[in-house]
Amino acid sequence: MAADNSVLLGLVEEFVSGQVDSKAAETVTGSSEKSIVNVIHCLSSCRLSLTSSQPQTRGRGVQLLSQVLQECYSSLSERELEVLLAFYENRLKDHYVIIPHVLQGLNALTKCSVLPPGSAVSILRSIFQDLHVQSLMLAERSCVYNILVSLMESKEEELKGLGADFIYGFVQSVDGERDPRNLLLAFQVARNIIHRGYDLGKFVEELFEVMSCYFPIDFSPPPSDPHRITQEELVLSLRAVLTGTSQFAEFLLPLIIEKLDSDIQSAKVDSLQTLAACGLTYSHKELAKFLPGLWSSIQREVFQTASEGVESAGLSALSALVSCLSRSVLNSDSEDVLQVFLSLVLQDCQHHLCEPDLKLVWPSAKLLQAAAGASYRASLIVSAAVIPALLEQYNNETQVRSLLMYFSLCLLHKHTEDSVLVAFQQSLCSVVFSALTESGAGLQVTATRVLTALGQQPGLLAQTDVEKVVDHLTRLILEEDDTKVSLAVVECSGSLAHLHHKAFISRLIPRLKEEILSAVRQRCVTALASVSSLPSVVQESAPILLQVLASAHTGSCGFSVEEVVAVCISLQKIAEHVRDSEGIGRFFHDIIIPHLLGLCLQAALQSRDAGQLFERKKQHLWDSSCHSFTSRQVEIPEIDRLLVQLEDLSCTGPHLFSYTFAAKCFAGLVNKMPAGEALDAVLERVMKRISVELENVSSAQRTQAFTLLLWVSKALLLRYHPLSTALTDKLFALLSDPALGSQVADGFCVLMSDSLDVLNRNCHADVRIMYRQRFFAENTTKIIQGFNSAEQEKKSYYLKALSHIVSNLPRQVQLTELPVLLPLLLEALSCADQAVQLSTLSCLQPVLLEPPAAIRNQLEALFSRLLTLTTSPAMKVRIASLQCVHALSRLPEHMVLPFRARVLKALAVPLDDTKRLVRMEAMVARGEWFLLGSPGGR
């Protein structure tokens, strides 16, 4: 022990007297391996340095002690802390060169979990009395703020006992701070003071002044800033302080009004967003006397600004104010502040609605909509004043009609349980029906949306109105050529048919049946699929589609292949709509599927040209028909002979259809065979044949051999057969094959996805639980290593395989594993292979609905790639990327609002896409992004 102490003492003396900084590190290392008591004992033996008359010598001693404590503070006892705290508090009165080291030591000591009672108060009194914090260097000021944060976490009750003295000391310490790192700490302390119930006493205004001097934040981090502090971090931290207590209201609200006069757009947005945040904390009492000034400022910004950001923030602020006032509890002798405020809003906005030549008509409508959407009480007041006026002016101006549609739609979406429009039901229905006969596409589209909302709320559509609705929709389906209108009409029909199916069965379906073979047959087919969401409707609509297929089969109506496929897809959609209905399942089984198979057979027996016409239809329907394989308990006669013939057909069949289904049948039988010598012999024979074909690069049957390998691998993987690992390793090896690499990558989709016609539980296959998770766990590393070592032109195969595997995993597994795989998935989005892009997008889209932190940290890269893909040459890629962009709008607003303008600009391009499906996805996505952050948004 004595020898150890001598070594430490020597190190201490070398550091203090010799100015050798490296000795400090050796001392820290040595002390961390021994008891802290010994360290203090050794340091006390060189007390001459701590009591030296030379400030520099004392400073070196304190510096060494503080560095030791930073490593060993958790080992201190309460008694040792008392001694050290007394020493350090006393040193705060020492020479200024010692103060930085004293603060470092105190910062370490305040992190201890065994701080003696009363020590927190003693430390803060010493700091507040003996230091002028703002005269210290940046690092020392940071120490002071960190000391405050630590003590507020561990000794909150002691600090609250200081009362207003603590607030005063903090105000004095932070006054004049300019460094953004320290400001974040200071804002954190202030936020804790406000939200944790500290008594502000008579220093409310002082605390507000020392914080509000930074409002609004104007900060641009340097390009090479290693701390990565953003303006948004500072803005949100300061906003949480300023809006955290209603005691600041009398100071903050005038300040907001003042700052809204700024010429800087970001200052206006920050002020309006801060005002919106006040609505969550304040009551009508704090707002009352400032309402005229606030309304005047909001009105001016919405009326005059050319910035979407300022307008959106202004509307949000108005909505927040109205929502706050709506929560006020009225007494018999009290004034209804909400009524008074809305009177101001109506007085300044309502008259503009009937002056369509003025540019203020739409800003006024947006302001009124923001106010009405804030609460049910507000919607009653606003609608009672606005709707009658618009109805009175409806026939005079087209713009008034649009305003009425817009305003009604906003109210219908905001208040769905007890609609405020019941009183105007008859007039509103008449207006909507009139709009449907207008020539303007925009007005017609809005009218269909209003109809959809009206039909989904009780009491707003009488039975006679429903019949009129169906007649109007039928007319538009058959006559309207505008794509946007047609799309809106079909969507409206699908929504209302689920609620009012009798009217659609009696009025719309007969008319579509009459026109199904005419020039508008494609519209009729689409509409039939859309309205067929109930069994009663399906029984009427599906036979009509069969009639179309029969006519196409005879060739009497000149149907194209695309039209035939569209009819088949419509039948598939109908089956998906009602797949939980036992009656419809029987209906398809007994009528639809036999009819389809009969058409397929007839087409196969006809000429080659006719066969080509139906080839795509046959392939599409065959995959979805009611295939059934026998149970494992059923003995199949001559199974060995059957397996040999299937193997031969799989390896030598000249047609994709024949050798693929032969491979499926072979795999289905292998999956069910009991373990033993018979199964081993079959697998040994088939694997030998597959290997011979695959190793011969000039063989004409390599694709067939690969197909058989793929399905046998799936059969063994599902049942956890030991040979499955060897087979999947063969597949991974084939990813680098020049001829088969792309097919192999697509094969992983087959391997991981559910098969509809074979190798599923309905076919009595041997399927073990969690086989996908097991496959993923065993093989992810192989894909990543293969990607890293692959040649550049073959990397896309590994990316495609990975995206197929991940997209078929359960959602929870995707969320867990995504942080590891995200870099590869993002790279896959940049891959030139459109199939890789599509597969990756299909994988990402469901994950984006509940995005993990890994995606949230990669938003910039994700948005860049997704927005680029919205103009891809491939339609499916454009649609999938738009769906992903749409999903990202559901992230928390503060995360995605910075991307809003960029997204809206990018999505304007696909709105004019040549494909209707792309335009539809772009419209839906852009609508969600446009509403983001606005009162009408989420």
Q: What is the rounded CA–CA span in Å between residue 882 and residue 915? A: 13
Q: What is the pLDDT of residue 284?
A: 87
List of residues 6+ apart from 720 with CB closer than 8 A: 768, 771, 774
Q: What is the pLDDT of residue 608?
A: 41
Q: What is the pLDDT of residue 575?
A: 82
Give, to the nearest 10 degrees, the angle between helix 639-652 and helix 702-718. 130
Dig out the tokens for 50 from the structure. 């701590």
Q: What is the pLDDT of residue 622?
A: 37
Q: How many whole angstroms from its chain centre is CA 843?
A: 14
List of residues 6+ apart from 43 with CB closer than 8 A: 12, 50, 61, 64, 65, 68
CB 833 within 8 A of CB 798: no
The predicted model scores a pTM of 0.57
Q: What is the pLDDT of residue 147?
A: 93
Q: What is the pLDDT of residue 192?
A: 94
SS3 144: helix
Q: What residue type is 442 in one-letter code?
A: G
Phi-psi label, residue 119: left if phi above 0, alpha if psi -120 to 50, beta otherwise: alpha
The parts of the chain modelled with pLDDT lower than 70 are: 1-51, 329-335, 356-358, 394-402, 405-407, 409-420, 555-557, 579-580, 601-625, 627-635, 657, 815, 852, 854, 935-938
Q: What is the pLDDT of residue 39?
A: 52
Please provide the DSSP assignment of 444-459 as one string. Answer: HHHHHHHHHHHHTSTT
Convert 563-599 into a string of H (helix), E (strand) and C (coil): HHHHHHHHHHHHHHHCCCCHHHHHHHHHHHHHHHHHH
Q: What is the rounded CA–CA span in Å between residue 848 and residue 886? A: 9
Q: What is the rounded CA–CA span in Å between residue 328 and residue 282? A: 11
Q: What is the pLDDT of residue 931?
A: 85
Q: How far is CA 78 from CA 75, 108, 114, 115, in A?
A: 10, 14, 6, 6
Q: What residue type is 470 in one-letter code?
A: V
Q: What is the rounded CA–CA span in Å between residue 129 and residue 837? A: 64
Nearest to 437 by CA among 407, 479, 399, 404: 479
* DSSP character at residue 755: P
CB 124 within 8 A of CB 169: yes
CB 514 within 8 A of CB 524: no
Q: What is the pLDDT of residue 709?
A: 93
CB 444 within 8 A of CB 402: no
Please provide the DSSP assignment of 499-532 as one string. Answer: T-HHHIIIIIHHHHHHHTTSTTHHHHHHHHHHH-
Q: What is the rounded CA–CA span in Å between residue 13 and residue 20? A: 10
* DSSP character at residue 857: T
